A and B are shown apart, each in its own frame.
Chain A
Amino acid sequence: MRKRIGALGTRAGATTRMANIVQFENIGLRYGTGAETLSDVSFTLRSGAFYFVTGASGAGKTSLLKLLYLAQRPSRGIIRLFGEDAVLLPRDRLPGFRRRIGVVFQDFRLVPHLSAWDNIALPLRVAGVPEADVEQPVREMLAWVGLTERAHARPATLSGGEQQRVAIARAVIARPEILIADEPTGNVDPDMAERLLHLFDSLNKLGTTVVVATHDFHLLNRIPHAQMMRLDRGRLLDPTGSLRYPPKRPDS
């Protein structure tokens, strides 16, 4: 596997020199005029580390991830991403930043009219990689996620687990510096969940910073070196982001 995804480590590994890849300071997020979904969230993500974001449904995990992958701007606070202020980042610079972030969406969000092959190739094509240089990485990714035989299948004909693996392959093919996954094991059986987690772990070992949001507490201790951030009603219980599961409650 290391040989297959050897190319992935190069770009991600280059950022390991940077200590902090993400920094949130007093972030608040409010949708419309409602109450704050996230309040006073502050944490730092170190390059090359593995993080779980946990919390009950509605705790704000997905909102936190949206801020991380630049799908949302905070209502207040400061976000530093790759050493730059992401809150004040001009809109025309967002694509460049987003290409450095891989996202596995909870609902996969595969393009329905494209085959597994074309879905996986999409980030490379978006980045303007010549077509001749697309084939080899896509082939490697398909082999890595065990979908070589299903390369030309459309998402509608793939099982939930297969779609999830296509989504992961699409998220990592462009060698992102951060991989963000929102409930990646929510739609798969426990065996597949563990396999997916190993995929993330192998990427992390190659230098990619991995952030996985999950409420599946069984998975949390499967990655021994992972750190956890626990959200409760929009607030981060451990601002340092260094808690191990089970988290120590502030009131205990």
Chain B
Amino acid sequence: MARSTDRRVLDEVGGLRAMTWVMAIMLFLTMLAAALGLGTAGAARLLDRQLSGRLTVQIVEGEPARRDAVAARVLSALRKQPGVARATPVDRAELTRLLSPWLGSDGADPQLPVPAMIDIDLADQDDAAITRVTAAVHAVSPAARVDRHERWMSPVSDFMTSLTWLALALVLLMAGATAAVVVLAARAGLEAHRPTIEVMHMLGSTDLQVARLFQRRIALDATVGGIAGGLAALGVIAIIGVRLRMLGSELLSGVMLSLIDWLLLVCLPLGFVVLATLAARVTIVRALRRTL
């Protein structure tokens, strides 16, 4: 059937007109949730990359000369390990700076029993490499502590992963709610146009032909709503991105969207249009199957 005629047959479907607004709002919220999920997933990945394979050795000795001697031996042993890409002692000035929020200028006191610290980057990031390095450190100084950075930051990483899952759940909920709204709108449209549909059936229309009348209309409304809601959401996300960048936070800088993330966000309206169209089609065809 000609598409222009299709449109006119359902010209005054008020319920379907409201679909444009519903789709715009749903898509706006969904894209924000999706952006949150993609951003936190990216940040979690970045954090994992930065922290995995990084260790810090702490040598705790009360007597500074002995502490520095042990630290030198540990450093020498570490640099001979094949799995160690880099072993760097944290100098006293850096330690003093790190302690200054708690100790103030007293942190610079040479008599203060501050542990010696060595930062290690591993070439291999598997557990076996960490075990080998830990054994080498303990062979020189059994009292030394070897800390994995991953372990310190795992609550943050877990929180980010939770946010990602929450965002995914929100996106799925929104998609489900959108499908439900489409189902209701399609049923309302079907009821409003029952006399016309009966005539179409009597003229020999198939269920799919009738369903097409509705799905084209809903697809059109969903497209218009999707574009409006999508553009608004992209604008908001871009503004948030700029503000995050301006904060200069090392942690929050990971919450940035990659090119693939932006492409995924742009594809969301298309996915919603397809979802709305399919939901309308299935609803109408199922409803029509209950008639003769």
Which residues of A pack against B, CB within 8 Å? 69-73, 91-92, 94-96, 98-99, 103, 105, 109-114, 118, 121-123, 125-128, 131, 170, 174
Chain B positions within 8 Å of A, measured between CB atoms, are: 1-2, 5, 8-12, 195-196, 198-206, 209, 289, 292
Bound complex: CA A170 to CA B8 (Å): 17
List residues of chain B with CB within 8 A of the CB of A73. 292
- Closest B residue to A69 using CB positions: B202
> In the complex, which residue of chain A has the Cβ closest to the Cβ of B200?
A126
Give the distance in Å from the alpha carbon of A91 to the alpha carbon of B268 in the complex: 37
| B residues near A110, Cβ cutoff 8 Å | 199
**Pair B204/A95 contact, Cβ less than 8 Å:** yes
Flag if B205 contacts A126 (CB, 8 Å): yes
Interface contact A91-B292, CB-CB below 8 Å? yes
A109-B199, A114-B9 as given contacts; A126 in contact with B209, CB under 8 Å: yes
B93 CB, nearest partner CB in chain A, Å: 82
Given contacts A70-B292, A111-B199, A123 and B9 within 8 Å (CB-CB): no
Which residues of chain B come closer than 8 Å to A127, judged between CB atoms?
A: 204
Residues of B within 8 A of A69 (CB): 202
Report the minimal beta-carbon distance from A167 to chain B, rounded to whole angstroms. Answer: 10
Tell me the nearest residue of chain B to A134, going by C-beta: B2
Known: A91-B292, A118-B5. A111 touches B204 (CB 8 A): no
30 A-B Cβ contacts within 8 A? A71-B202, A72-B292, A91-B292, A94-B292, A95-B201, A95-B205, A95-B206, A96-B204, A103-B202, A109-B198, A109-B199, A111-B9, A111-B196, A111-B199, A112-B196, A113-B11, A113-B12, A114-B8, A118-B5, A122-B5, A122-B200, A122-B203, A123-B203, A123-B204, A125-B5, A126-B1, A126-B200, A131-B2, A170-B203, A174-B203
The residues of B that contact A114 with a CB separation of less than 8 Å are 5, 8-9
B residues within 8 A CB of A126? 1, 200, 203-205, 209
Name the CB-closest residue of B to A121: B5
Given A99-B204, A126-B204, the answer on whether A118 and B198 have CB atoms closer than 8 Å is no
Report B-chain residues with C-beta under 8 Å of the C-beta of A131: 2
Taken together as a complex, chains A and B put the C-alpha atoms of A225 and B5 apart, in Å, by 40
Q: Please, which residue of chain B has its CB at the minimum distance from the CB of A97?
A: B204
Report A191 CB to chain B, min CB distance, Å. 28
Which residues of A have CB within 8 Å of B206?
92, 95
Most buried by B among A69, A94, A111: A111
| Bound-complex Cα distance A209 to B122 (A) | 91
Q: Are B2 and A125 in contact (CB under 8 A)?
A: yes
Cα A117 to Cα B198 with chains together (Å): 20
Instruction: With CB as the reference atom, state the residue of chain A lying closest to B205.
Output: A126
A17 → B minimal CB distance (Å): 23
Cα–Cα, bound, A114→B203 (Å) = 15
Give A112 to B11 CA distance when docked, in angstroms. Answer: 10
Once A113-B11, A114-B5, A114-B9 are accepted as A-B contacts, the answer to whether A91 and B289 lie under 8 Å apart by CB is yes
Q: How far is the CA of A69 from the CA of B292 in the complex (A)?
A: 11
**CB-based contact A99/B292 at 8 Å:** no
Residues of B within 8 A of A71 (CB): 198, 202, 292
Closest to A128 in B: B1
A99 contacts B203, CB within 8 Å? yes
Closest 9 CB pairs of A and B: A99-B204, A113-B11, A125-B1, A98-B204, A95-B204, A109-B199, A95-B206, A123-B203, A126-B205
Do B8 and A113 touch (CB < 8 A)? yes
Please name all residues of chain A whose beta carbon is closer than 8 Å to the beta carbon of B8 when the two chains form the complex: 113-114, 118
Residues of B within 8 A of A105 (CB): 199
Most chain A CB within a 10 A radius of its CB, from B11, B195, B200, B203: B203
Q: Once the chains are docked, how many angstroms separate the CA of A98 from the CA of B204? A: 5
Q: B200 contacts which chain A residues (CB < 8 A)?
A: 122, 126
Known: A96-B204, A98-B201, A113-B10. 8 other contacts (CB 8 A): A69-B202, A71-B202, A92-B206, A113-B8, A122-B5, A125-B1, A126-B203, A174-B203
| Central interface residue in B5, B10, B11, B196, by most chain A CB within 10 Å | B5
Distance of B220 from chain A, by nearest CB (Å): 16
Complex CA distance for A92 and B195, rounded to whole angstroms: 20
Which of B8, B199, B201, B289 gathers most chain A CB within 10 Å?
B199
Q: Within 8 Å CB of B198, what residues of A?
A: 71, 109
Contacts of B201 in A (CB 8 A): 95, 98
- A231–chain B nearest beta-carbon distance, Å: 22
Contacts of A99 in B (CB 8 A): 203-204
Closest to B12 in A: A113
CB distance from A109 to the nearest CB of B (A): 5
Residues in B whose Cβ lies below 8 Å from that of A121: 5
B287 to chain A minimum Cβ distance, whole angstroms, is: 14
Complex CA distance for A94 and B289, rounded to whole angstroms: 12
